[in-house]
Amino acid sequence: MRLPFRRAILGLAALAALAAAPLRADPEYPKMGPDIYDVHADGAAQIAAALSQAAAEHKRVIVDLGANWCIWCRRLHSTFEGDPAVASALKKAFVVVLVDVNTRRGVKRNADVNARYGNPIEHGIPVLVVLDSDGRQLTTKDTGELEEGGGHRPVKITAFLAAWAPSGH
């Protein structure tokens, strides 16, 4: 009696897993790997939430404007998460928001966010915008200046973060 019950439970679990599978969106550019920018997110809402968190935690906000097809966006994201010094500096003093600014099928995603900060993507992506916890734009960074060789140099990133971290961080 235990075996049929166990099979029934396993069968239901398998059906539930199959039913949930379509809920996970396929990557926008499958050959690039999983999406790092949420293609459905409202950038203004993302920033508002980050500003609220930054105010509560006495941090600043870094708005990372990019797109899932962009190899340099992916490299920067990888350095943000994978380099211990960079990840630590970010966690200590910043709330990071990844805002998708891709143009696809004639639709410019989060164009309002790009316009609000003076069209920083006009010269390429990724680009970083640093905000204080009140939402004031403090600086915009062309991340090409942080590149070296085939990636971003962690020392350059941590120097940039140190320059823009709130006092006391």
Give the number of C-alpha atoms closer than 13 A to the C-alpha of residue 94, restricted to the C-beta side: 24
Residue 12 belongs to a domain: no
Instruction: Return the structure tokens found at 116.
Output: 């609000």
Show pLDDT as tens, one digit a residue, over the chain (169 residues).
Answer: 455 544 544 444 444 444 444 445 788 788 878 999 999 999 999 999 999 999 999 999 999 999 999 999 999 999 999 999 999 999 999 999 999 999 988 889 999 999 999 999 999 999 999 999 999 999 999 999 999 999 999 999 999 999 999 987 7
Structure-token match 């679990």, residue found: 13
Q: What is the CATH number of the domain that holds 45?
A: 3.40.30.10
Residue 3 belongs to a domain: no
Domain that holds residue 70: 28-164
CA-to-CA separations, 160 to 39, 82, 90, in angstroms, rounded:
28, 17, 11
